[in-house]
């Protein structure tokens, strides 16, 4: 019988090796124990405890309201389920941008209280001091460029980023700065595929795309979107593997019907 000790864990080094040998990295969000168990056992390389929990778990319109305590709660639930995947946790809005000492305190809380393996934060040069300070404490950092949802009120819309030359140039420079600082990987969200490819080819750390085309080192999706739990969200980049909203709703409707008709429980479903 295999034990958890036999499982070869995915580490930040594993991801670098995967990039070197051209093996694509799979990454998916998870926020709770039950789903994280399934994601881990499916063989996902990276589980992201994304601040998209603010949307899909808590029902907020943006990722801004979720707190550090709430992210730690989700991350600790995921960590209790995971035996193999690398677990990366988003630093929520307002916990790392203004003050690098606060950024380090936030990252340490995530690592200590959830026992996650790495943190992710959004932005390039403007958060470099925070990135450096967190890295100096030995905490692995994943960057996030392109569409950065925590800045939605600056952008105004969720449309494709870096279509213009200046923004594209800045994005490439930021990717290099984050690599030089020591980030182990980057997420690039919703940018033209050609630009994402250029970034992936110009740095040696893995670039994981969402809405960034095929020529990057891996892909990430939000679980509720790819399972079709969240029916309202259907951007072009999303591939739906299920229509769980309707399937689950159907099960609930059948249960209600069975209760009302006294079909449930039957003789074999009672003591």
* 51 interacts with ligand KIV by CB under 6 A: yes
Answer for which of 187, 191, 199, 200 binds ligand KIV (CB under 6 A) is: 187
- At 193 the three-state DSSP class reads helix
- At 141 the three-state DSSP class reads strand
* 44 interacts with ligand KIV by CB under 6 A: no
Alpha-carbon distances of 193 from 148, 210, 215, 236, rounded to whole Å: 17, 10, 7, 13
Please say which residue, 100 or 149, places its beta carbon nearer to ligand KIV.
149
Q: Where do runs of H (alpha helix) occur along the chain?
A: 12-21, 33-42, 53-56, 68-79, 100-114, 128-136, 152-155, 165-181, 193-202, 223-226, 244-260
* 50 interacts with ligand KIV by CB under 6 A: yes
Report the candidate in 18, 187, 163 with the shortest Cα–Cα distance to residue 89: 187
As measured in angstroms, the least distance from the Cβ of 52 to ligand KIV is 3
* 230 interacts with ligand KIV by CB under 6 A: no
- At 1 the three-state DSSP class reads coil
* 220 interacts with ligand KIV by CB under 6 A: yes
Residues numbered 107-166 forming contacts with ligand KIV, rule: CB under 6 A: none
* 211 interacts with ligand KIV by CB under 6 A: no
* 174 interacts with ligand KIV by CB under 6 A: no
As measured in angstroms, the least distance from the Cβ of 18 to ligand KIV is 18
Sign of the dihedral through C-alpha 122, 125, 126, 127? positive
Residues numbered 71-100 forming contacts with ligand KIV, rule: CB under 6 A: 90
Q: Which two tokens stand for residue 13?
A: 């080094």
As measured in angstroms, the least distance from the Cβ of 170 to ligand KIV is 20
Residues recognised as catalytic: 189
- At 244 the three-state DSSP class reads helix
Binding site for ligand KIV (CB under 6 A): 29, 48, 50-52, 90, 187, 189, 210, 220, 222
């Amino acid at each position: 019988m295999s034990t958890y000790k036999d499982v070869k864990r995915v580490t930040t080094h594993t991801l670098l090796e995967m990039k070197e040998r051209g093996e694509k990295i799979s990454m998916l969000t998870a926020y709770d124990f039950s789903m994280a168990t399934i994601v881990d056992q499916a063989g996902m390389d990276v589980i992201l405890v994304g601040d998209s929990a603010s949307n899909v778990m808590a029902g907020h319109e943006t990722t801004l309201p979720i707190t550090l305590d709430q992210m730690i709660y989700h991350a600790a639930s995921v960590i209790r389920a995971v035996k193999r995947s690398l677990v990366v946790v988003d630093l929520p809005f307002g916990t790392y941008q203004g003050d690098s000492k606060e950024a380090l305190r936030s990252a340490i809380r995530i690592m200590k209280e959830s026992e996650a393996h790495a943190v992710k934060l959004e932005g390039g040069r403007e958060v470099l001091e925070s990135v450096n300070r967190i890295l100096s404490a030995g905490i692995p950092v994943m960057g996030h460029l392109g569409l950065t949802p925590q800045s939605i009120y600056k952008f105004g819309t969720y449309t494709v980023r870096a279509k213009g030359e200046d923004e594209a140039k800045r994005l490439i420079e930021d990717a290099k700065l984050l690599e030089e600082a020591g980030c182990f990987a980057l997420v690039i969200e919703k940018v033209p595929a050609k630009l994402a490819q250029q970034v992936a080819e110009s740095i040696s750390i893995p670039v994981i795309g969402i809405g960034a085309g095929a020529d990057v080192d891996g892909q990430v999706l939000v679980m509720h979107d790819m399972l079709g739990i969240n029916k309202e969200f259907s951007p072009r980049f999303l591939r739906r593997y299920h229509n769980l909203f309707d399937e689950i709703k159907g099960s609930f409707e059948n249960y209600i019907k069975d209760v009302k008709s006294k079909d449930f429980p039957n003789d074999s479903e009672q003591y």
